[in-house]
Amino acid sequence: MTDLQLRTVALTHEESTEVDDLLRTLADVPVDSTVALLHRTRLAAQELPLRIRTELTGMRLYDSPRALVVTGFGIDDDRIGPTPVARPAPTPERTRNQELLLLLHAALLGEAFGWATQQNGRLVHDVLPVPGEETEQMGSSSKAELLWHTEDAFHPLRCDYVGLLCLRNHQRAVTTLGWPDLSRLTPEDRATLLEPRYLIRPDTSHTPEQNASDTRSAERFAVIAEMDDTPEHVAVLFGDPEDPYLRIDPAYMSPAPGDAAARRAYDTITTLIEDALQYVALDAGSLLLVDNYQAVHGRKPFAAAYDGRDRWLKRVNITRDLRRSRSARQSATSLLV
């Protein structure tokens, strides 16, 4: 790909073999939400092929590229088994290596973390179509387009990066990626987007209904409910006014009622994103890493068959600074916000 903000790196056979050999050294590591897991994966990440380490170090240090696709990881289609029809996958051991693979790459960008209010508090999430949720604005939809968005845009502790590893995509479902050319904003619209004139609510994946009853924390879900009942006023752009970061989710975000200037600026930036959208159909063994402060991602509709062959991704949230969320985690060694 020629776009400097979206890079693709194809692993050689030798590099792919290096990764497989590295995963075998982690055969005794349990995939759960423990700092011991991060300790092992962080050490092992330093043994990933040099080209991978170079790309991800550059992504972290230079804010570029905004998205990176790495292809060529081996996926044993028989080993991972049928695509589940519910989250999380009922037999996580089958995809243990794929979850470790995500965590190894996460360790080069920061620290992996999970949400106490999403996917039963698991560290690595399953992204797959779920019967009855075909038209929802969640990763479990299929018939409806998953609108492009900043991951967990509603939350102040949202991830810096999101990692998506494709296990299966026979339908060739398309992932959307985009970022606006902010130089096309008028000074007035830029100034407006930098002000907290937009309301944002939690997405529905953080509701009790989307989590098993034995993992529901009344206190945590009460906080989510309050965010929904009394949405926060936030800015779309933040950070350096001359080179700002982005926070946007059209499905759950809107200008404050009656604020015509905020509406005009919002419509302008959404158009800029739409105009520059790029489309990537991930293949099995492709890893997509997205800078969640600079890029949005989504997915085009596809036809789910629920026959065990549907599209299936693994997802991980990555923060550059785990301490930033200490007040929202039960302990310094907890990885759940």
- Tokens at residue 173, please? 């479902």
Question: What mean pLDDT comes out for the span 104-110?
Answer: 97
The answer to whether 169 and 282 have CB atoms below 8 angstroms apart is yes
Domains within the chain, CATH numbers bracketed:
6-178+277-328 (3.60.130.10)
List, as one string, the DSSP characters of 231-268.
PEEE-SEES-TTS-EE---TTTEEEPTT-HHHHHHHHH
- Comparing 276 with 3, the larger pLDDT belongs to 276
Give me the pLDDT at residue 220, please: 85
Task: Write the pLDDT tens digit of every residue in 166-195.
Answer: 999 999 999 999 999 999 999 999 999 999
In this prediction, residue 33 has a pLDDT band, given cuts at 50, 70 and 90, of: low
Task: Write the pLDDT tens digit of every residue in 188-226.
Answer: 999 999 999 999 999 988 988 888 777 777 888 888 999
Give me the pLDDT at residue 81, please: 95
Find out whether 149 is annotated in a ligand binding site: yes
Instruction: Assess whether pLDDT exceeds 60 at residue 245.
Output: yes
Mean of the per-residue pLDDT values of the chain: 94
Q: Cite the beta strand spans of 65-180 per DSSP E.
A: 67-71, 111-113, 125-127, 146-149, 161-168, 175-178
Give me the pLDDT at residue 97, please: 95
Classify each residue of 132-153 as buried b or exposed e, where b means 16 or more C-beta atoms within 10 Å of its C-beta.
ebeebbbbbbbeebbbbbbbbb
Q: How far apart are CA 157 and CA 122, in angstroms?
A: 17
238 C-beta neighbours (distance < 10 Å), count: 15
Find out whether 297 is annotated in a ligand binding site: yes
Instruction: Assess whether pLDDT exceeds 50 at residue 117.
Output: yes
Question: What mean pLDDT comes out for the span 10-22?
Answer: 97
Instruction: Assess whether pLDDT exceeds 80 at residue 32.
Output: no
Give me the pLDDT at residue 3, please: 59
Q: How far apart are CA 77 and CA 22, in angstroms?
A: 20
Find out whether 175 is annotated in a ligand binding site: yes
Provide the β-strand partners of residue 175: 280, 299
Find out whether 151 is annotated in a ligand binding site: yes
Task: Write the pLDDT tens digit of every residue in 280-324.
Answer: 999 999 999 999 999 999 999 999 999 999 999 999 999 999 999
Find out whether 315 is annotated in a ligand binding site: yes
List, as one string, the DSSP characters of 263-329.
HHHHHHHHHHHHHT-EEE-PPTT-EEEEETTT-EEEE-------SS-S-EEEEEEEES-GGGGGGGS
Question: What mean pLDDT comes out for the span 253-282?
Answer: 97
Q: What is the pTM of this model?
A: 0.95
Give me the pLDDT at residue 1, please: 36
Give me the pLDDT at residue 2, please: 40
Find out whether 207 is annotated in a ligand binding site: no
Task: Write the pLDDT tens digit of every residue in 129-165.
Answer: 999 999 999 999 999 999 999 999 999 999 999 999 9
